[in-house]
Chains A and B, each alone.
Chain A
Amino acid sequence: MKTKSNLKNIVNKNQIPLGPFHPLLEEAEYFNITVDGETVVDIDMDTGWMHRGHEFISEQKTFTQSIYLVERICGICSTSHPLACVHAVEDVDNIEIPLRGRYIRTLVGELERIHSHLLWVGLAGHFIGYDTVWMWAWKYREPVLQMFEIISGNRNHYGMLRVGGVGKDVDPASVPELNKILDTLDKKMDMIAKIANDDPVLRSRLVNVGILSKKDAIDFCAVGPTSRASGVRGDIRKDEPTDAYDLVDFNEIITKNGDVYDKFVVRVLETLESIKICRQCLNKLKIIDGPILNNVKEISAGEGIGRYEAPRGEVFHYVRTDGTNRPIRHKVRAPSYNNIPTFQASCKGIPIADALITLAGVDPCYCCTERAIRVTDKNNKKNNIDLLKLSRDKTSNIRGNF
């Protein structure tokens, strides 16, 4: 592939490989950064280290099983993916959801946004070598996980959602406690917002770093805080209000500059909005009674699109059904899939020292990005026979031992 002119380019420039296991990348990912002196001139990315084949597996599972599967696409968005998935299935038949169920869905989704944004704020601090921010942000993330434990029984991977509602109810007796945790969280978030405003270290490392212009954001079809920091409006919670989002009051945060600092600010302010939404939901849950799950017996043949504003942007699920209890095609598109290619625009021309924080700026989630595509069943069939043979061998082995 290397032509002569290409070779000439490479002589003047150096390539820095990064990954797949780099101490700063929490997940395995490989970047090939071409630098000219100190400046990044090109960036190439090799993906596929996390590819597990979700879409393929999902087509062998029923809709309810699928929810637990898509939950495990990514540990951080473990409400967003199931939510988009059930929205897609509900879109096929226009299934109605009971009011209490809608509020619980919104509550869990917003709590997830708080914990995800706090996680990013911490990691951003870690990436610029400011570990104090990391420790603090993650310390205040713990109460959110505690709330999840009260609501769902698990710190991550909640398993709350079903097609037609939610599977678990919020215990009314726990509402005061949840409110109390929210109060402390509110104070701490205020503090972090103030840090973002006047901490000189953060400012000097983040302002005007890795700028993504509005035009690039539109061209690359970026979503979520990445595009909102560049001044592009678009929030699925406002555009297509599902669940209880048309019943609660919140603001869409948009900033203009598109640098990493603005992304930081957008995320911190969004967290404050999320706390507001959670409060409203908890207040409503005190007074609204009724069912949480609309029993769905059958999904007719058709196509459905479901989406939800995950912490990183729009997550998109497409389901095609044929009247049975499994999808015949299930497409998953995570927000990072659209956001990660923006590196090509935002990383070029910046010093190599700033490249890492710029890479982290979009809050990339590689696990999400590399979920899956379906492949031929032929290989798999053979595998199954192999597996069967293996298990028979094993059984006879065990029998022989006794």
Chain B
Amino acid sequence: MADYQEFINEMGSKIKVEIKKKRRLYFQVKNDDILEIIDHLFNKMGCRLSTATATETYNGVEALYHFSDDKTGNYYCPRVVMKDKENPEMNSITPIVKGAEWIEREMAEWWGIKFIGHPRPIPLLSRNHPKAPNKPMRCGR
């Protein structure tokens, strides 16, 4: 557990730690700080982006990124919550992490999240789809 204490100390004011478990750290980040945090995780600490998950909760739409630190086996999961369920918007991390292109396209397609600064914002799976959905098909709970 001591491993990610260093990260928490360094980023202290910008993150809100939610769950701390063996090898897993979930924390909330504001949309304005996400690029800085990702830059730190990817470029400084040498983490690898596993993937990202979008979910709709009672509080809004959230995007949860999963970064894996291969040296220690730890997981860092920054979570961005977008309160506006109708038009969720957040900064794209693709300019920093090239590997995020597909997953952000997928999230934009199915959850309606608008990624600001994404280089290629076209649908991933429903391009050329004969019955393409005309609205993001996110869950309606």
Contact = CB atoms under 8 A, between A and B. Distances in A.
| A–B interface present (Cβ within 8 A) | yes
Interface of A: 46-48, 51, 91, 94, 218-223, 233-234, 239-240, 302-303, 305, 307, 314, 316, 318, 320, 329, 331, 333, 337-338, 341, 370, 373-379
Nearest to A220: B99
Contact of B125 (A91, A303, A370): A370
B139 A316 contact: no
Nearest to A333: B51
A47 B139 contact: no
B137 A379 contact: yes
B110 to A, nearest CB: 4
Interface string B97-121: 1111111001001110000000000
B26 A316 contact: no
B31 interface: no
A46 B127 contact: yes
B48 interface: yes
Contacts of A333: 50-51, 103
A303 B26 contact: yes
Contacts of B97: 219, 221
A333 B100 CA distance: 12
Nearest to A376: B140
Contacts of A338: 51, 99
B90 interface: no
Nearest to B97: A221
A338 B109 CA distance: 18
A331 B53 contact: yes
Given A314-B68, A331-B53, 8 more contacts: A94-B21, A218-B48, A221-B99, A318-B64, A341-B102, A375-B139, A376-B137, A377-B139
B70 A233 contact: yes
B50 to A, nearest CB: 5
Contacts of A239: 68, 70-73
A203 B37 CA distance: 44
A330 B19 CA distance: 18
A294 to B, nearest CB: 18
Interface string B44-71: 0000111101010000000010101011
A84 to B, nearest CB: 11
Interface of B: 19, 21-24, 26, 48-51, 53, 55, 64, 66, 68, 70-73, 75, 77, 97-103, 106, 109-111, 124-129, 133, 137-141
A94 B109 CA distance: 34
B87 to A, nearest CB: 16
A316 B49 CA distance: 11
A341 B127 contact: no
8 contacts: A240-B23, A305-B75, A307-B68, A331-B53, A337-B51, A338-B99, A375-B137, A379-B137
Nearest to A223: B48
Given A305-B24, A373-B106, A314 B73 contact: no
A378 B72 CA distance: 43
A91 B66 contact: no
Nearest to B19: A303
B66 A320 contact: no
A15 to B, nearest CB: 15
Point out which of A314, A370, A375 has the most chain B C-beta atoms below 10 A from its C-beta: A375
Contacts of A223: 48
B24 A331 contact: no
A220 B19 CA distance: 28
Contacts of B101: 341
A347 to B, nearest CB: 15
A314 B99 CA distance: 14
Nearest to A56: B139
B22 A220 contact: no
Contacts of A314: 50, 68
A320 B55 contact: yes
Point out which of A48, A94, A373, A374 has the most chain B C-beta atoms below 10 A from its C-beta: A373
A302 B103 CA distance: 23
Contact of B66 (A48, A94, A318): A318
A376 B139 contact: yes
Contacts of A94: 21-22
A48 B138 contact: no
Nearest to B100: A221
Nearest to A316: B50
B48 A221 contact: yes
Given A48-B129, A377-B140, A337 B23 contact: no
A91 B26 CA distance: 14
Contact of A373 (B23, B72, B110, B129): B110
